[in-house]
A and B are shown apart, each in its own frame.
Chain A
Amino acid sequence: MKLNKFAKLGAVAVLSAVFLAACGSKSASSSSKQVLNWDENAELPTIDLSKATDRVSFDTLNNTNEGLYRLGKDSKIEPGIATKTTVSNNGMKYTFTLRKNAKWSNGDKVTAKDFVYSWQRTVKPSTGSQYAYLFSGIQNADDITAGKKDASTLGVKAEGNYKLVVTLDKKLPYFKLLMGFPSFYPQSQKAVEKYGSKYGTASKYMVYNGPYELTKWTGTNLSWTLKKNNDYWDKKNVKLSAINYKVNKSNTTAYNLYQSGKLDMTYLNAEQAKQMSNSKELVTRRGSSTFYLEYNQTKKEFQNKKIRQAISLVIDRKQYVNKVLGDGSTVAKGLVASGLSKHNGKDFADEAAVKDATATDTAKAKKLWNEGLKELGVKELSFSILSDDTDAGNKTTPFLQSQIEESLPGAKVSVTNVPFKTRLDRSEKGNFDVVVSAWGADFADPISFLDLFTSDNSYNNGKWKNAEYDKLIEASKTTDAGNATKRWNDLVQAEKILMQDQGISPIYQQAQATLVKSKVKGVIYNSSGANYNFKDAYIK
């Protein structure tokens, strides 16, 4: 009798499982045409734009909210809330005229006050924004973030409901680009105050003014949906009715879901990328992060330029990105990532490229190495290479070790792989010989990278110093800030100096391989700032 009961229960369980499974596949196949099913590999931690720090949050905000501009293809500035912009002759004052038909998802109008409120909220120390530093250059921003002045003194004012005036402390040639970054979007004071500490912690505790509204996000779950926002001012140009996100931390799982038609895009790991290298659906997204070697130049051996050059010249970067990484990453041309910024149609990385900066020439390396050792008065050199303990980091250090030890006589290299935060800590404290560092640009301007290596910059972990470099960077921000070409040339020149001196040795530019179904069109991807812009996306 007992057994009989169990058998019945078992049968019910199996039947219901099969039934539920069948339901699952049915609902997926009947999904309507203009719905995109998107893979994500990490959770959405917040949609409070003052608190956001990560890619997923910024990507979401970029599609659910909107600032003065939107960034189109190649970070091209496209209209957002601003319809007209005037810049004062000295470049220190921007006046934005806002559109009158922009609305929040609660029906309220988007006004200049929402921008003032949002910016003040972000720079105020009590908010605890980790991106407040991006406001540096806007009048009083630095003093406010340092707690020396009140947030109300920030150089942003509303003149009536539809005019926003921004005053700068110094010229910011990339100011318009920043306006396309979610940290500069407006926020509804009413919503922030209404939801209090819950603001931005779930889709219902937020108001939206972008092409889509966030729904079905509980704050900690692994799936959410961007639904077309019918209050959006340009809704007639938004073709997708919904974008369903699903977090899959395993690339294998995401790939299986992609194969079964449940996802229209999937991230690939290095192995999968190698296997799929001939697929028509392979789309490699070039990132804005460059990985490079920093040499601790408080140590005598690394103050020697020939030693630095020799190390750089023995690294076969092509072999490294193709055979070791194999995830679509490319050999870095210099510090500034390729495809980040263009002037007169020319890419910065190409313009600033220096012969030998990231090339391989073992014979030359040996010569320089021996000369370097001689200058130092030693016969051999032992040093360690520090890196992250990520997949890529664990592949990088042994590769560098073997390349250096094989080609440079008397070189003894040890490697240390530590967690990211430990690596940062050791880098900041100068507790390393050579460290594999990485930097990603916040916005599509070379200064985002080149600022790092001025003599007194706190991110300059290796303490490389060059007066000429400092001078050029300073000129780009002051005397030449108003002249795009001159400024460009300053920056190009600066990078050339850094590369010729091998103040740092760039290795590779990171990329993310993905598969995207060919029916998906119009997706805009930018390597810096928020990555994905789905406003114009559609299913063909």
Chain B
Amino acid sequence: MRKYLLKRVFYMILTLFLVATITFFLMKLMPGTPYSNQQKMTAQQIQIMNEQYGLNKPMWLQYLIYLGGMLHGDFGVSFQFSNQPVSYLIASRIGASAQLGFQAMIFGVVLGIIIGAVAAVHRNTWVDTLCTILSIIGKSVPNFVLAVLLQFYIALKLGWFPIADWGGFSYTVLPTIALGVGPLAETARFIRTGMVDVLNSDYIELAKAKGLSRYGIVYHHALRNSLIPLVTLIGPYTVALMTGSMVIENIFSIPGIGEQFVKSILTNDYPTIMGVTMLFSAGLVAVILITDIIYGIIDPRIRLSGSGD
């Protein structure tokens, strides 16, 4: 187990190093400068600015300087937000995104499991059809459409929740629902398929023959076994949601990190591009590792060992 973990951590670091390297050089290939007033600056002025920001140095040297800084926890200073350290920008923006993503995930997965289970138990009845239709709608309607509808009807017309802004739990309700419908539909479909398979298997027949209650069968045997593959799905999904959704954050005017990723690329804000990319990748590799470990724990068929067997 220890050997396995060490090996995995080594690969994680290697992955992050590769992500940093590839992103760094790809980003330097983008045309333009990080100066928002570039259009009005002459070539000479841009050169002077490049000297100030160390952007005239050879690319390999810039790369080494960046890596060196990163190892010391220094992600540089943003260009868009003049003088603002990237670490501060991320720290001040990630909270809202993470909270929203986490809530959406809980909302989506819990409700998804319930709907999926209900559909599986009542498979091939109108309940199943209804659940399937709902999950197809949930999967195919883009979350921003739902967000706009929720905002208009629930917030503006009915006044039940704030239209936008970020101030307390009530502000998170509508964005959570909008963001959570995706994982909800996904989970419901997943659970339904898994449970239908399990419910048709021999050991369920055996359980029935033993006279176990319907609830006992569904809860202890069918649902638990179908939850295992869900773990693989939830991990990366959680990272994706917690690192922010540009569209939902924009619709509900939430100070999250989602938009920064896109905006930093469009504005050639090199330090922010790197900072946000590293955050996403670190989150993803960490979650993948955790998922694998959890997998080993909940499913005894999977053995965690580094012996290569």
Contacts and interface: CB of A to CB of B under 8 A. Distances in A.
A24 B173 CA distance: 14
A428 B51 CA distance: 20
A43 B253 contact: no
Interface in A40-69: 43, 45-46, 48, 51-54
A246 B93 CA distance: 16
Interface in A7-34: 13, 16-21, 24-25
A414 interface: no
Nearest to B156: A256
A46 B169 contact: no
Nearest to B161: A21
A249 B162 contact: no
Contacts of B163: 253, 256-257, 260, 262
Interface string B13-53: 00000000000000000111101111111111100110111
A257 B164 contact: yes
Nearest to A197: B83
A458 B42 contact: yes
Contacts of A222: 166, 253-255
B134 interface: no
B255 A221 contact: yes
Interface string B145-175: 0001001100110011111111111110100
A262 B156 CA distance: 11
Nearest to B253: A248
Contacts of A426: 31
A248 B251 CA distance: 8
Contact of A53 (B36, B152, B171, B250): B36
A424 to B, nearest CB: 6
B266 interface: yes
A48 B83 contact: yes
Interface in B120-142: none
Interface residues of A, number: 62
A16 B169 contact: yes
Nearest to B266: A419
Nearest to A442: B40
A181 to B, nearest CB: 13
A533 B171 CA distance: 32
A125 B48 contact: yes
A421 B164 contact: no
A396 interface: no
Nearest to B34: A421
Nearest to B165: A246
B88 interface: yes
Given A200-B83, A223-B165, A250 B48 contact: no
A259 B152 CA distance: 11
A246 B171 CA distance: 15
A220 B255 contact: yes
A199 interface: yes
A511 interface: no
B56 interface: no
Contact of B49 (A128, A248, A420): A128
A51 B253 CA distance: 26
B252 interface: yes
Interface in A197-223: 197-201, 218-223
B31 A425 contact: yes
Given A21-B170, A46-B83, A249 B253 contact: yes
B170 A253 contact: no
A130 B164 contact: no
Interface in A421-459: 421-422, 424-426, 428, 439, 442, 458-459
Interface in A223-252: 223, 246-250, 252
A145 B252 CA distance: 43
Given A18-B160, A253-B253, A424 B39 contact: yes
Interface string A387-410: 000000000000000000000000
A175 interface: no
A131 interface: yes
B259 interface: yes
A422 B81 contact: no
Contact of A24 (B31, B41, B49, B162): B162
A421 B82 contact: no
Nearest to A422: B31
A13 B169 CA distance: 8
Nearest to A457: B42
Contacts of A13: 169
A126 interface: yes
Given A128-B53, A250-B251, A256-B156, A24 B170 contact: yes
A291 B58 CA distance: 37
Contacts of B168: 20, 24
Contact of B42 (A20, A51, A133, A223): A133
B201 interface: no
Contact of B82 (A45, A147, A257, A262): A45
Interface string A118-144: 000000011010111100000000000
B62 interface: no
Given A257-B163, A422-B31, A130 B253 contact: no
B84 interface: yes
Contacts of A259: 156
B80 interface: yes
Contacts of B83: 46, 48, 51, 197-201
Interface of B: 30-33, 35-45, 48-49, 51-53, 80-84, 88-89, 92-93, 148, 151-152, 155-156, 159-171, 173, 250-255, 259, 266-268
Interface of A: 13, 16-21, 24-25, 43, 45-46, 48, 51-54, 125-126, 128, 130-133, 145-147, 197-201, 218-223, 246-250, 252-253, 256-257, 259-260, 262, 419-422, 424-426, 428, 439, 442, 458-459
18 contacts: A19-B170, A20-B169, A21-B162, A21-B170, A45-B84, A53-B35, A53-B37, A130-B40, A145-B48, A200-B82, A201-B84, A219-B88, A220-B81, A220-B89, A223-B165, A421-B33, A422-B32, A459-B40
Given A20-B169, A220-B84, A458-B43, 7 more contacts: A133-B45, A220-B81, A220-B92, A246-B253, A262-B163, A421-B267, A421-B268
